[in-house]
Chains A and B, each alone.
Chain A
Amino acid sequence: MDIAKHWRQRATRYRMQGQRHRETGEIRFPARPSALCEDPAVWEPYILSGRGEIYSFTVLRQSADGFVDLTPYPLAMVRLNEGPLVVAQLTDCEEAELSIGQPVEMVTRRLKDTGEDGVLVYGYKFRPVLS
């Protein structure tokens, strides 16, 4: 069972919680442990805006187990406004609507159903910004 693996990532996935450097203001996502030479308190939890733009994208037509209901679906690299680049699914859109540089916003969606006796996995996806 992967329950613990999914649970550990809840802050990252549900609300895009990353980290901000208390001194430099640098923002990183996802959160990482501090380096050995660093004061562990120097990186504070920080919730990113969820806003960004499409850096690149593709469309998956042959998908892995657990994603059949979604197929075909777009997958994108998104450059977040705060700087980090993340890979995530796009949702609520058609391939023809998408373009590089397009503004997108984060939504929390169901990522995967792990089966009748498993957990539902939720996390971030992106969609074209609502007008």
Chain B
Amino acid sequence: MMQPDRPVGLIGYGVYIPRYRIAANEIARIWTDGQSGAPIEAKSVPGPDEDTVTISIEAARNALARSGIRAEQLNAIWIGSESHPYSVKPSGTIVAEALGTTPWISAADWEFACKAGSEALTAGMGMVGSRMAEYVLSIGADTAQGRPGDALEYTASAGAAAFILGPADECLAQIEATVSYVTDTPDFFRRADRPYPVHGNRFTGEPAYFHQIQSSVKRLMHELDRQPQDYTYAILHQPNAKFPQAAAKRLGFTPEQLAPGLLSPKIGNTYSAAALSGLCAALDVAQPGDSILVASYGSGAGSDAYSFVVNEKILERRHLAPLTSVYLERKTFVDYAVYVKWRGKLVMG
């Protein structure tokens, strides 16, 4: 279990979900004559002028609005994603410039499949907890790609979640502790220069998602001497609707604990933002004294688990930026033709 020397917490949080959606049955209409069972209802689709940089900027502006600090007070901007617009050129510097924090700031991009964002969160805890930094902005954001016709195409979506970490005495939710569990598991990967990722067949599911998440969550609860019923809410990485519900049941969490942070049925798998946007949604409804357990998952594979305790500052800060529900309710459905045009899947010849 990892705990910083100086207590650390979230002083601001912000989410962003694009306006557009494609229904799972619209994708099934194209590829399976509408016959296949869909893993979710719909997924979010980034607009034609959106990418990981732009969605990170909006989530970060929301987090800053809630934090009450000025952008130039940030000491680091770290963005976790598997869909950075450039292979070489950091997203972090563009986001830092947009927020007005340059030049005296650390900026870097993180990579660990769907848990790149939580890696940035853990690193931010270390920076603030060691007093190397007062405030760190950690972001998980993705505009994920799925190969046309692949099972992944039903779920690979877009979203961003941003958190400003700071000293616990200024926070709206303190991070009590975290654990990281990683193993070399080839469940899902994308080789350099390839446009779409692939699944490692039998490794998906049991030895990957379930093993890593159950390991991290059990260890964290054991070290903190907690039981599932001690938490108000539980947020697990959500690649679809079924996996987090099954993992929660195995771990002893109820559907009621899971519900506020379970966004995947309506927006799909936002990858690096999946567990973290679920945390934002839970913070939107949390009351002082509530506790939240969060576990990310990244293919390759690993899981970071966190234990949060919310305090009274949530009440005055949550309405300083749009709630997650505002973005969830703002939705315009597009058909498969518009989707492939916007997502760059048309070969123009």
Contact = CB atoms under 8 A, between A and B. Distances in A.
B97 A111 contact: no
B326 interface: yes
B19 A92 contact: yes
B54 A110 contact: yes
Interface in B2-31: 19
Interface in B31-70: 47-51, 53-54, 57-58
Interface in A61-95: 69-70, 89, 91-92, 94
B18 to A, nearest CB: 8
A120 B85 contact: yes
A108 to B, nearest CB: 5
Interface in A102-127: 107-111, 120, 122, 125
B320 interface: no
B98 A109 contact: no
Contacts of A11: 97, 100
A70 B49 contact: yes
Contact of A15 (B47, B51, B97, B326): B97
A68 B45 CA distance: 18
Contacts of A111: 49
Nearest to B329: A131
A108 B98 contact: yes
Interface string A9-34: 01100110100000000000000000
A41 interface: no
B99 interface: yes
Most chain A CB within a 10 A radius of its CB, from B48, B57, B99, B341: B48
A91 B326 contact: no
A125 B38 CA distance: 35
A5 B192 CA distance: 31
Given A92-B47, A109-B49, A122 B98 contact: yes
Contacts of B57: 14, 108
B322 A109 contact: no
Contacts of B231: none
B100 A110 contact: no
Given A108-B54, A111-B49, 13 more contacts: A14-B57, A15-B99, A15-B100, A69-B48, A109-B47, A110-B50, A110-B54, A110-B85, A120-B86, A122-B54, A130-B322, A130-B326, A130-B330
Nearest 8 A/B pairs, CB to CB: A14-B98, A109-B49, A69-B48, A110-B49, A92-B19, A108-B57, A108-B98, A109-B54
